[in-house]
Structure 1
Amino acid sequence: MKTKQIISIVVTGVVVIAVGITGVASNVLGSKLMQKNKAETSSIVKEMLSSDVGASIDLPEKDFIGVINIEGEIGASSSNSLTSSNTYNHDLYLKYIEKMEKSDKNKGILLFVDSPGGAVYESDEMYLKLMEYKEKTKRPIWAYFASQACSGGYYISMAADKIYANRNCWTGSIGVIVSLTNCKKLYDKLGIKEIDITSGKNKAMGSQGLDLTKEQRDILQSLVDEAYDQFVGIVAEGRNMDTDKVKEIADGRIYSAKQAKEINLVDEVGSFEDEKKAFAKEAGFSEDITYYTPENNSLSGMFSSLFGAVKDIVPKSDIDLAEDIVENNGNGVLKYYAK
């Protein structure tokens, strides 16, 4: 073989090897950079979403009524979940109320309620925060019921001085529920057996692979009864009714707006505009006063709404649907909730 051919082969081999090494190095470097960018992006998003939600609330510089939207299921703030489509933001509203307490431009609060209710803890925490606001500021709180104002949504509204309900609204559902999902028969069919090592016979009560004993049912019923008595007391105080009278109508049923007015669960049946006019007249401020809600300035709210909308249009798998059933209908959480 001629010398020139040998040199040509060697040069070609070196070039191929060099290109290969360069390609591998480029891929490795690119992968590292991509991972770094992803980590940095994730870190930035988490930082933005976990930052003080109150910091993003800029109150109006003129007189305003604070609007709090009690919409969707009431529970812990969903702002940490980018894929959540729930509109209720518990932490944001608590911070908003705190800021309004300190603002001399705030003249009152309007609750816009369109909710089936939710967790006992968050419902009561929001109610107590609103009562604290009233005590500290002596300013009015009114509530408007849209399509539904049930259970926890009604509970929170007991802080209101006056309640208007849309004529097509369903409200009431005064009661408490704990839902559990029992999969024992399914487990038996599949040959699955749940084994729990516990410190006591009732430690694993409510587990999906075990049947409830009578004692365990009684334990859960006692929790429900206690929360129910608390609910009844809140309604009796908020609506200036006798406790026994509240219990007569508080069997968990829902009422139409007309029925609710007849039994004193709401004050008036009318439109949102009707209420705003009446609110302005009775409280003594201008009808064109600003009604301000903090969601538009909330970065976490923007992200959750955006990704929640995407989640809503993506079809769910069978596993996702099964998880939803367990999470929403059988998670054992004490709720003021209308099924």
Structure 2
Amino acid sequence: MPQDNNWQQQVWQQPAAPQGAPAPQPQGCPPYYQPEPPKKSRGWIVALVAVLCVFGIIALGMWSCTSAVSSSFGTLGALGSTATTSDVDYLTSDAVGVIDIDGTIQYDGTTCSPEGLKAQLDVAAENKHIKAVVLRVNSGGGTATAGEEMAAYVREFSESSGKPVVVSSASMNASAAYEISSQADFIYTAKTTAIGAIGTALQVTDLSGLLDKLGISIENVTSSDSKDSSYGTRPLTEEERAYYQNMVNQINETFIQTVAEGRDMTVEEVRALATGLTFTGMEAVENGLADEIGTREDAVAKAAELANTTAYKTVKLDNPSSSLSDLLDLMSESRLSADDLAQALKELENDGSLAR
């Protein structure tokens, strides 16, 4: 016992170990208990995973919603089947491609522009399953040069691909829009469609009288006398008016010749109809500017008939600007309310496009 007490006194009287050095352990005895250092918090990892999951669920929900709505884009084919394919790359059977030309003919990259229309015609030409194309036209015209180019693309597509093109006229198919339509193999129109308006116009506004009343004086420094003729700060001279009239006549003559070629009419027959005014669909069928009264579905069926196919789907050919991207743009607007989003989804379901 004295020895044991002496040993205990030696242990308890040992000086403290230097900081950072392990405390000495008595030989033959189990090591003293030392608590484990506290674990570092992993809360930020959990939070990050939760945020990523939320974004993933939102993205999946929007994709599922858009996929479901896009199934309404298909229209009935000859056998009554509905095409739910929105991407021509997934076509596995015969189809009729529908291209909407809805709006002003201009250079805006949509299917109302030369670039946009040609892009979709190229898709139709390269896809072996697309046997024909329907142009659904609802336009009052626009830029003369854009209409000229688009008419040439329609003619080239029909000639090079051998696939028929049929036009379905909506409420209006006029001016440059009709120039494009005239190159199709067949033109349908409604009875009340405003169609035709073969003609060319150039507008110069003279604001000089108003400027004088307002006491505004404008001086144009130009390199030639007629450089400012279209600025609207002075009246046209007789020479300038004659110059512009000659330009309009030249452009209009190319319009007449394009229609005559596309409709298999003489230049004189078309010129007699080139009053600049539209005709009703009924009058257009009588004077040769259209072939039959019919609907969009009639046009699709006619296109399939000309392509010698009886079992087919319809697929919409449109620019890569998808309805999903439009929907995301709308959702990114801070002022967008739940009612606005619901209305956008309703419009998307109805016609595949979003209105702003």
TM-score normalized with structure 1 length: 0.67
Tell me the SS of whatever aligns to 2:290.
Answer: coil
Question: In structure 2, what residue type is equivalent to 1:186?
Answer: L
Asked if 1:75 corresponds to 2:106, the answer is yes
Residue by residue, what CA displacement relative to the aligned partner does 1:273-317 show, whole Å, maximum 9, x if unpaired? 22222332332113542232224x42499549977xx9xxxxxxx
Equivalents in 2 of 1:267, 1:305: separation in Å?
Answer: 42
Q: How does 1:1-339 map to 2 (within 5 A)?
A: 59-62=89-92, 63-77=94-108, 88=112, 90-286=114-310, 288-295=312-319, 297-299=320-322, 303=326
Residue by residue, what CA displacement relative to the aligned partner does 1:82-128 show, whole Å, maximum 9, x if unpaired? xxxxx835432221222322222221211111100010111111111
Of 158-167 and 190-199, deviating more is 190-199
Where in structure 2 are there 5+ consecutive unaligned residues?
A: 1-85, 334-356
Equivalents in 1 of 2:286, 2:327: separation in Å?
Answer: 39
Question: In structure 2, what residue type is equivalent to 1:247?
Answer: R
Question: In structure 2, what residue type is equivalent to 1:234?
Answer: T
TM-score normalized with structure 2 length: 0.64
> Relative to structure 1, is the Cα distance of residues 163 and 304 closer, same or farther in structure 2, using a 3 angstrom cutoff?
farther
Equivalents in 2 of 1:185, 1:131: separation in Å?
Answer: 47
Asked whether the equivalents of residues 285 and 293 of structure 2 are also in contact (C-alpha less than 8 Å), the reply is yes
> Relative to structure 1, is the Cα distance of residues 184 and 305 closer, same or farther in structure 2, using a 3 angstrom cutoff?
farther
Question: In structure 2, what residue type is equivalent to 1:232?
Answer: I
Q: Give the percent of matched residue pairs that are identical in Structure 1 and Structure 2.
A: 29
Asked whether the equivalents of residues 166 and 272 of structure 1 are also in contact (C-alpha less than 8 Å), the reply is no
Tell me the SS of whatever aligns to 1:118.
Answer: coil
Asked whether the equivalents of residues 78 and 304 of structure 1 are also in contact (C-alpha less than 8 Å), the reply is no
Question: In structure 1, what residue type is equivalent to 2:141?
Answer: G
* Greater helix proportion: 1
> Relative to structure 1, is the Cα distance of residues 182 and 304 closer, same or farther in structure 2, using a 3 angstrom cutoff?
farther
Of 64-73 and 166-175, deviating more is 64-73
Question: In structure 1, what residue type is equivalent to 2:210?
Answer: L
Question: In structure 2, what residue type is equivalent to 1:152?
Answer: A
The CA deviation at 1:154 is 0.4
Question: In structure 1, what residue type is equivalent to 2:137?
Answer: V
Equivalents in 1 of 2:88, 2:278: separation in Å?
Answer: 38
RCO higher in structure (CA 8 A, sep ≥6) = 1
Equivalents in 1 of 2:163, 2:194: separation in Å?
Answer: 28
Question: In structure 2, what residue type is equivalent to 1:70?
Answer: I
Residue by residue, what CA displacement relative to the aligned partner does 1:238-264 show, whole Å, maximum 9, x if unpaired? 111111111111111110011011100
> Relative to structure 1, is the Cα distance of residues 212 and 109 closer, same or farther in structure 2, using a 3 angstrom cutoff?
same
Asked whether the equivalents of residues 96 and 312 of structure 2 are also in contact (C-alpha less than 8 Å), the reply is no
The CA deviation at 1:60 is 4.1
**What is the root-mean-square deviation in Å for CA atoms of aligned residues?**
2.5
Equivalents in 2 of 1:257, 1:305: separation in Å?
Answer: 40
Equivalents in 2 of 1:241, 1:225: separation in Å?
Answer: 20
Asked whether the equivalents of residues 109 and 115 of structure 2 are also in contact (C-alpha less than 8 Å), the reply is no
Tell me the SS of whatever aligns to 1:179.
Answer: coil
Asked whether the equivalents of residues 208 and 232 of structure 2 are also in contact (C-alpha less than 8 Å), the reply is yes
Where in structure 1 are there 5+ consecutive unaligned residues?
A: 1-55, 80-86, 311-339
